[in-house]
Amino acid sequence: MPIKRNKGERTMPAISLTVNQKTVHGEVEGRTLLVQFLRDNVGLTGTHIGCDTSQCGACVVTVDGKSVKSCTMLAVQANGADVLTIEGLSGPDGALHPMQAMFKEHHALQCGYCTPGMIMSAIDLVETHPQGLSEAQIRAGLEGNICRCTGYHNIVKAIAAAWPLMHGAPTAQAAE
Amino acid sequence: MYDFSYAKPAALAQAVQALGDPEAKALAGGMTFIPVLKQRLNKPSVIVDLAGLGLSGIRVEGGALIIGAMTTHGEVAASADVKAAIPAVAALAGHIGDRQVRYRGTLGGSLANNDPSACYPAAVLALAATIHTNKRTIAADAFFQGMFTTALEADELITAVSFPIPRRAAYAKFANPASRYAMVGVFVAQTDAAVRVAVTGAGQNGVFRHEAMEAALATSFTAAALEGVTTPVDLMSSDIHGSAEYRAHLVMVMARKAVEEAKGK
């Protein structure tokens, strides 16, 4: 996408991307971050800005299936991409995604600020580990997500519980 | 962030031409550059996104592992070719930043930035890799020229890096617990010809070769051979995360660990 530039004037790149299975068009400044675009232009405020320095992971969304920190990606870099945010997880009937359900079941949150990013990262983690996911792998996989309330224990439990649901195996709970 | 124009050329020649503008800057994965822009530490007029140039990919050819400049850390970490050829490079890539950073951050971006605490420069220097650009090839020994400084010219782009496959190698990193950058990282590589040791995170001038350790390990590739080798404290960086003395000590600890790990493979 070559942009012509006159002195003192910048064109606004027009972008088009899929967000939660809907096509979204927008004109953005070059500097507009993906998280700002999602929150301010698309109105999806479930994706949070936490640290704004790519450390905390509250802003994690998936772009073409990969979890990324949307505070550290330009909106224009997502042109043509398929973006999924926390709002796009539940079914048409409002049914929770298994990861959301397990976060609820295991009370994997306290204030909830980090939760959208945690859930988006966790889904990517589970999807990329079809052979299984140990507790150590879950903890290492959450390196990019910081929670300042619960101490991670219930988050780890929720993710472990979501793995069999997402990979089609019965859980111990379901068998009870 | 100051505003800028954005261009995403589809060919290397166009990207190089766009970077002929002295106010233009190249964007690879953006994992360092976007935070730099957010802090207003840089004010480019034009950002030239390299994502459309087809510069990613991994192959093994003629005794070397060749990784395209835009290959992400995640792709390197997961690559069966990298794991088979130089497992230490796959392991190094798999511990850069976090999963989200590894999905976006690239080999070429890391090298062009030459952060003094970045991991990749240690691998490139210890493995005596060759950096391929749109203009020439540059030996690792000539590429790194002090922190955040490289041999690259303003309109020169890394296209790929060629790593000669060593007999054995390993990287040991003492990561800063918050940033995951190396407080000290030591990459040890043994080829039929020599042993090379590169240290990142510790030196005031960025990545460097530890020649005293290389000489000791050339005699005997064992952790015990490092006994008595010193690391000059006055060359170490010192900050809130660790004093120069602390880093000099960590260099030895990480070097021993890297040698043991290399021998174990």
User: What kind of fold does domain A98-171 have according to CATH?
Assistant: DNA polymerase; domain 1 (1.10.150)
* Domain termination residue (choose one: B125, B146, B164): B164
pLDDT of residue B97: 93
The pairs formed by B77-86 with CB atoms below 8 angstroms and a separation of 24 or more are B77/B102, B82/B58, B84/B60, B85/B60, B85/B163, B85/B165, B86/B127, B86/B163, B86/B165, B86/B166, B86/B169
**Residue intervals in chain A for CATH 1.10.150.120:** 98-171
3-class secondary-structure state, position B143: helix
pLDDT over threshold 80, residue A8: no
Q: Where are the alpha helices (DSSP H) in B19-98?
A: 33-38, 73-78, 80-85, 87-93
Residue B154's CB is within 10 A of a number of other CB atoms, namely: 11
d(CA A63, CA A39): 16
Q: Name which of B129, B145, B126, B150 is nearest B254 in CA terms.
A: B126
CB under 8 Å to B48, separation ≥6 — which residues? B7, B8, B9, B15, B18, B19, B24, B25, B26, B27
Domain containing residue B105: CATH number? 3.30.465.10
Residue limits of CATH 3.10.20.30 in chain A: 5-88
Nearest Cα of chain B lies from the Cα of A91 at a distance, in angstroms, of 25
| CA–CA separation, B76 and B227 (whole Å) | 34
CB pairs under 8 A between A and B: 87
In this prediction, the residues of chain B whose per-residue pLDDT falls under 70 are 265
SS3 B187: strand
Binary contact (B100, A60; C-beta < 8 A): yes
Question: Over chain A, what is the mean pLDDT?
Answer: 91
CB atoms within 10 A of CB B30: 22
Residue among A72, A47, A56, A68 at smallest CA distance from A148:
A56
- In the listed set B110, B143, B164, which residue is the last one of a domain according to the structure? B164
What is the CATH number for B39? Answer: 3.30.43.10
Closest CA to B11 of A144, A2, A174: A2
Which residues of chain B are within 8 Å of residue A141 when distances are taken between CB atoms?
99
- Superfamily for A5-88? Beta-grasp domain (3.10.20.30)
From chain B, the residues in CB contact with A65 under 8 A are: none
- Could you read off the pLDDT of A30-82 as tens digits, one per residue? 999 999 999 999 999 999 999 999 999 999 999 999 999 999 999 999 999 99
On whether any CB of chain B is under 8 Å from the CB of A6, the answer is: no
pLDDT at A173 (0 to 100): 46
A3, A52, A121: residue with CB nearest B7: A3
ipTM: 0.93
- Interchain pair B46, A143: CB under 8 A: no
Set of chain B residues whose Cβ sits within 8 Å of the Cβ of A68: 100, 103-104
Percentage helix, strand, coil for chain B under 3-state DSSP, each rounded to 5:
35, 25, 40
**Could you tell me if A30 lies within 8 Å of chain B, comparing CB atoms?**
yes
pLDDT of residue A12: 82
pLDDT band for position A150 (cuts 50, 70, 90): confident
- Contact by Cβ (8 Å): B61, B22: no
Contacting A with CB below 8 Å, chain B residues are 1-9, 14, 27, 30-31, 34-35, 37-38, 45-47, 49, 51, 74, 97-101, 103-104, 178-180
State CA A85 to chain mean position distance: 5
Torsion angles phi and psi, residue B189, rounded to 5: -135, 135
Range of the domain at B121: 58-164
Measured on CA atoms in the order A50, A53, A56, A61, is the torsion positive or negative?
Answer: positive
